[in-house]
């Protein structure tokens, strides 16, 4: 299993600003995933972050809006840029252990005013 922590746990931000979310894993992992969970919506994959390469973004998500860093095998950051109220959501990082197992962090609850 993997233990994942995220910072901050929650934040309230003004529109037009940016927020960087940190994700720390207690073991070295090749791939880290960033998800968004909007109220009443499915958990949606934003991007996959591999250490040493550019993140791979899913349809509908772009690097300019959600830049990701992956400086080592235990850490990643997701930045939500130029925020609008539509970005209010829970952001979760995750690591995988094969197809069937994904461990999630506790999430970062973001409210954009």
Partner 1 sequence: QKEVEQDPGPLSVPEGAIVSLNCTYSNSAFQYFMWYRQYSRKGPELLMYTYSSGNKEDGRFTAQVDKSSKYISLFIRDSQPSDSATYLCAMSGPLGNRDDKIIFGKGTRLHILP
Residue ranges that bind partner 1, judged by CB under 8 A: 4, 40-45, 58, 92, 94, 99-107, 109
Q: How far is the CB of 43 from partner 1 (least distance, A)?
A: 4
Q: What residue has token string 């850490």?
A: 75
What's the CA gap between 33 and 47, in Å, rounded?
A: 6
What is the rounded CA–CA span in Å between residue 43 and residue 45?
Answer: 7
Nearest CB to partner 1, comparing residues 14 and 60: 60
Adjacent-strand bridge partners of 14: none
Q: Are 23 and 77 in contact (CB under 8 A)?
A: yes
The least CB distance from residue 41 to partner 1, in Å, is 6
Question: Measured from the CB of residue 54, what is the shortest distance to partner 1 in angstroms?
Answer: 18
Name the residue nearer to partner 1 (CB basis): 58 or 81.
58
Distance CA 44, CA 29 (A): 21
Closest CB to partner 1 among residues 16, 103: 103
């Amino acid at each position: 299993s993997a233990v994942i922590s995220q910072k901050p746990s929650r934040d309230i931000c003004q529109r037009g600003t940016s927020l960087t979310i940190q994700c720390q894993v207690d073991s070295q992992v090749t791939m880290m995933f960033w998800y968004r969970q909007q109220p009443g919506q499915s958990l949606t994959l934003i991007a996959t972050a591999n250490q040493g390469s550019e993140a791979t973004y899913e349809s509908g998500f772009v690097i300019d809006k959600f830049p990701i860093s992956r400086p080592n095998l235990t850490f990643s950051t997701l930045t939500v840029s130029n925020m609008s109220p539509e970005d209010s959501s829970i952001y979760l990082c995750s690591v995988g252990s094969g197809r069937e197992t994904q461990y999630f962090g506790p999430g970062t609850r973001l409210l954009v005013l």
